[in-house]
Amino acid sequence: MNAKAMEGLKKRKYGLLAALLTACAAVVIFSLSGRLIGGGYTFIRGDLTGQFVPFIRQFLNSLFGPEDLDYSFYISMGASTMAVYAYNCLSPFNLVYLLIVDGNLASVVVMVGKLSLAAYTFQWFSRTILKNNTISSVAFSMAYALCGYTVTYYHNIMFLDSVYMLPVIMGLVVLFVKEGKWRALTAAYAYLFLVNFYIAYMVGFFSFILLLAMMAAEYGRSWKRYAVTGVRFAGLVILAALMDAIFLMPAAYALLWNGAPDASVFDDLRLMLWDLYGNLFLGQMQTLEGIFPMIYCGVIVVYLVPLFFMDGHYGRKEKTVCAVLLGFLIICSIWLPGYIFLHCFDAPDSNGYRFGFLYSFLLTAVCCAQWSRVGSVRPQKLTVIAVINVILYYLIYLWQKRNLEESYQSMSVLGWELNILFIFLLLVLMRYAQRGEGTKKKAERLLVVLMTLELIVNGFFCVTRAGYLPGDHKVIYNNWMDSVEETLRTIRKEDDGIYRIRYHNAVAQDQSMQFDYMDIPYFSTIENWRLRDTLGLLGYSVSPRGVLNTGGTPVTEMLFAQRYIVMAKDPWEMDTAVQTLYKNETALGLGYMVREELRDIILQENAMENLNLVLQGMTGEDIVCMIPYTGDIRLESENMVFGMTAEETYALYRKDETEASAHLIYRIESDSLYPSYAYFSQEISIKDTSMPVLYGGYGLGTYLTAPAILPMERSADGDNITIFMGEGISSEGWYRNHYFAYYDPAALQDAYEVLKEHQFLISERRGSRIRGTVEAVEGRTLLFTSIPYDKGWRIYVDGTEAKTEALINGAFLGTELTPGIHAIEMVYQSRLNTVSAWISAAACAVFLLTVLTAKDGWKMKIKTDAKEENTNQEKNDINKNNDK
């Protein structure tokens, strides 16, 4: 190794050490908490289970298989695939899932890799911007990488890309303002926008606030420099976005076209300033509703941040920049418009304060800069700070105990004791560092050890309190994923057509490789999502953010080409996943001819009646598959009060709060010929985030906030369905209108016989291009497809482009034909794909050209202007002295 390489390695040794120690600490945290080595709990939880891992697998299948990148029938019935990929799948780290088949292990590697990279990039920021390239920077780099945000939110692995990019972006913004360097900042923004546009928005705007503060601190009253730097910054940001246009533009179009409202109405953040202060300590846990931001990044923050603002060594510029950034974050935390603005104009209903890592970065950076000054602090001041923090922690704990529900209390006596321990140890360490330069170096090494221990303790508490599933469920999940792929392989060997597969009792009922998943409703508040609304009105379990897999019936299985049905064991049993495959002999194809009366149907509140309306509109016959139940309904309850309030709203109350559970059972008369189904209206409000669960036959269940048609369980006392409030579930809830019906399979067979005669016979499918033939006859001239309506679809009839229509509440694609046999070609292309690809190519060419040829003349001009200003200022000072 030559001398230059050795010098570079020596300069980066602390960054490499920070990355290595972070990886080791992360493994220890997840091993101690039972998620990794020898543990009894699964690493995969939350969105990793139901969102990222399946989406990434689907993305890789599209990338290296026959599927198109811009469309897939396996995501949301085939809706807005590009937006899903742009949000979930474009990080290069996701290639690990291609190399490691086991989703749990691959997720471990990805998470640890991103955390390690976050430690490395923060150390780069420390040595480049803060000029701290000592062993102490390792401790603070680990504190940022293993802050409370990352060890609590790690299952949102896409968020972590922005965590490791934040130090890079912030450092490059500083260099841009001071030295005019722009190339690396442009590339960094382009990469950030690509890996996840949602969190990238937070980082981008936070870095813009830094830009404004830095310009104010550096440029004084030089308006020319403001203008030049502002224009250059806007230009590089636009160039970075244009380089990603190939993904961003189709994703933005899909989000706007398929907008949906948020899951809940935000009118009160319930956050106070002392809540922010309290979350600086270790052992805090983000609650499900996110009323406290997770900003812990080491207890040392409560020492060094106050000292920074009191230290006369730092000038007004440095303190102003930090104060502006901190003030901006506080405003966005306690002021609702600011909160929604920094969430990309979204109001997330869970895991709130997704910008918490911005706090951690700022506070850790201040500490990293201030540590070098710890030797100049009076010992008495350190002791006073320690005592004040111990007292304030306990006072806030008492306030939470008195004013907050237990689930929202983030402090405890144990937490107070642990924080006292680390506050005392840090006090001793800083006093030891004040003895001299030699002891300070030893103290810095001890600081790395102490903060590593503290971060592991905090990580253990955060992980163990996050509601993970037992390790046996990891086995279930992995076995289930393996059996899913084996089931798909088995089907493909015998049937290479286009169809959908319905899963009952999947481990996660919203897997992307099933019927659908909640892709588009993220971050959109413009209009209702037609597909989601329509499926909800047809009995599927829907939420304001997506459509789940519960609620399908034999009717929808026929209409939506669900040719295969997989029955799985109850996923919450401690057993390996077992799946049984059934072929649905009454499933129609992807398209078929229906009567024009389908255009005239108006869906009502009762989903089971809507199924009848759709069949009647398609066939033109009086077919009733779901026979309304008009008999008596018997109610049985245990520890639950049931009653009707205004406007036919039904209220549920727990009689005794001390009892572990409560339930309400609906019973109707059994019919020996027909199975029965139940449906509860969508208009539901639950007081708590922990909702009652609706249970029916076959072990199927759904939350009451996302009601669905469910089969009822048959017993000697009649058919029944249960509303269950388990331990810790809300003590009260409200819903509107319940409906019961019997399913008549003979009527469905009649409908099938009518519709099967004139199906769209597909002869070829390549990616998002479908060819085939269909025969239209008098009275059946409307081609209906179960493809979600999207303006990107083009339908060609006998070589001529036909007008597309949005059918059944505007949700599904169709077109009008004339009687006769027609050659049909359907082609999908996002309306912005071609133009965005050309824009990206042009932007990349411009960037590469400027990188190779630019001489940074404007940078030298800025420096010259600054030099001239300094010279003029010196002349003015001399003249003033002469006058005196």
Task: Convert the pLDDT of each residue in 167-217 to its tens digit.
Answer: 999 999 999 999 988 999 999 999 999 998 888 999 999 999 999 999 999
Eight-state DSSP code of residue 320? H
Question: How far is it, in rounded angstroms, from Cα 665 to Cα 719?
Answer: 10
pLDDT at position 328 is: 96
**CB proximity list for 491: less than 8 A, separation 6 or greater:** 501, 564, 581
Helix (H) or strand (E) holding 471: helix 471-494
Is residue 594 pLDDT above 60, yes or no? Answer: yes
Question: How far is it, in rounded angstroms, from Cα 559 to Cα 615?
Answer: 9
Cβ neighbour number for residue 695 with a 10 Å cutoff: 20
Question: How far is it, in rounded angstroms, from Cα 660 to Cα 638?
Answer: 11
3-state secondary structure of 687: coil
Which pTM was predicted? 0.84
Cβ neighbour number for residue 748 with a 10 Å cutoff: 21
Segment 752-778, tens digit of pLDDT? 999 999 999 999 887 788 999 999 999
Eight-state DSSP code of residue 654? E
Question: For residue 38, what pLDDT band results from cuts at 50, 70 and 90?
Answer: low
Both tokens of residue 842?
């042009």
Q: Give one word for 528, left, alpha or beta, with left for phi > 0 and alpha for psi -120 to 50.
A: beta
Question: For residue 823, what pLDDT band results from cuts at 50, 70 and 90?
Answer: very high
Question: How far is it, in rounded angstroms, from Cα 184 to Cα 192?
Answer: 12
Cβ neighbour number for residue 664 with a 10 Å cutoff: 20
**Residue that wins the pLDDT comparison between 400 and 601:** 601
Which long-range contacts link 380-389 to residues 24+ away (Cβ below 8 Å)? 381/307, 382/303, 382/427, 382/430, 382/431, 383/427, 385/302, 385/303, 385/306, 385/307, 386/303, 386/423, 386/424, 386/427, 389/302, 389/419, 389/423
- Dihedral angle computed from the Cα positions of residues 555, 556, 559 and 565, in that order, rounded to the nearest 10 degrees: -100
Eight-state DSSP code of residue 794? E
Is residue 652 pLDDT above 60, yes or no? Answer: yes
* Of 112-116, 230-234, 534-538, 606-610, minimum mean pLDDT range: 534-538
> Please, which residues bridge with residue 742 across strands?
627, 676
Mean pLDDT, residues 4-19: 86
Phi, psi angle pair for 467, to nearest 5°: 75, 50
pLDDT at position 412 is: 82
Phi, psi angle pair for 827, to nearest 5°: -130, 130
Question: How far is it, in rounded angstroms, from Cα 504 to Cα 653?
Answer: 30
3-state secondary structure of 689: coil
Both tokens of residue 108?
């471990």
Both tokens of residue 645?
């309030």
* Of 286-300, 419-433, 436-450, minimum mean pLDDT range: 286-300
Question: How far is it, in rounded angstroms, from Cα 103 to Cα 110?
Answer: 10
Question: For residue 856, what pLDDT band results from cuts at 50, 70 and 90?
Answer: low
Question: For residue 263, what pLDDT band results from cuts at 50, 70 and 90?
Answer: very low
pLDDT at position 626 is: 96
Q: Which amino acid is at 229?
A: T
Both tokens of residue 199?
């969190």
pLDDT at position 49 is: 66
Both tokens of residue 505?
């009792």
Which long-range contacts link 321-326 to residues 24+ away (Cβ below 8 Å)? 321/210, 321/213, 321/214, 321/217, 322/362, 322/366, 324/209, 324/212, 324/213, 325/206, 325/209, 325/210, 325/213, 325/362, 326/362
Cβ neighbour number for residue 378 with a 10 Å cutoff: 9
Mean pLDDT, residues 655-681: 86
pLDDT at position 266 is: 58
Question: For residue 44, what pLDDT band results from cuts at 50, 70 and 90?
Answer: low
Spatial contact of 169 and 207, defined as CB atoms under 8 Å apart: yes
pLDDT at position 436 is: 80
DSSP secondary structure string for all residues of 338-369: HHHHHTTS---SSS--TTHHHHHHHHHHHHHH
* Of 414-428, 584-598, 710-724, minimum mean pLDDT range: 710-724
Give percent above pLDDT 90 in the chain.
43
Mean pLDDT, residues 768-789: 93
Question: For residue 646, what pLDDT band results from cuts at 50, 70 and 90?
Answer: low
Question: For residue 741, what pLDDT band results from cuts at 50, 70 and 90?
Answer: very high
- Token pair 């892709």 is at which residue? 519
pLDDT at position 533 is: 81
Q: Tell me what the pLDDT averaged over the chain comes to.
A: 82
DSSP secondary structure string for all residues of 39-107: -SB-S--THIIIIIHHHHHHHHHHHHSSS-SS--TTSTTT--HHHHHHHHT--GGGGHHHH---HHHHH
Question: For residue 692, what pLDDT band results from cuts at 50, 70 and 90?
Answer: low
- Token pair 């449906």 is at which residue? 679
Q: Which amino acid is at 296?
A: Y
Is residue 515 pLDDT above 50, yes or no? Answer: no
Question: How far is it, in rounded angstroms, from Cα 250 to Cα 80?
Answer: 9
Mean pLDDT, residues 616-631: 95
Question: For residue 130, what pLDDT band results from cuts at 50, 70 and 90?
Answer: very high
Both tokens of residue 771?
């060819």
Segment 50-78, tens digit of pLDDT? 677 777 777 777 777 767 777 777 667 77
Spatial contact of 54 and 513, defined as CB atoms under 8 Å apart: yes
Helix (H) or strand (E) holding 486: helix 471-494
Mean pLDDT, residues 858-881: 47
**How far, CA to CA in Å, does 63 sit from each of 49, 70, 444, 711, 801?**
21, 10, 48, 39, 29
Is residue 429 pLDDT above 50, yes or no? Answer: yes
Phi, psi angle pair for 505, to nearest 5°: 60, 45
Segment 540-590, tens digit of pLDDT? 877 655 666 678 899 999 999 888 877 665 544 545 556 677 888 999 999
**CB proximity list for 265: less than 8 A, separation 6 or greater:** 347
Cα angle 686, 688, 690 (rounded to 5 degrees) comes to 100
Segment 408-424, tens digit of pLDDT? 677 888 888 999 999 99
**Nearest CA to 162 among 207, 108, 96, 118?**
118
Is residue 333 pLDDT above 80, yes or no? Answer: yes
Mean pLDDT, residues 595-612: 94
Q: Give one word for 699, left, alpha or beta, with left for phi > 0 and alpha for psi -120 to 50.
A: left
Question: For residue 294, what pLDDT band results from cuts at 50, 70 and 90?
Answer: confident
CA atoms within 13 A on the CB side of 701: 17
Question: How far is it, in rounded angstroms, from Cα 791 to Cα 532?
Answer: 17
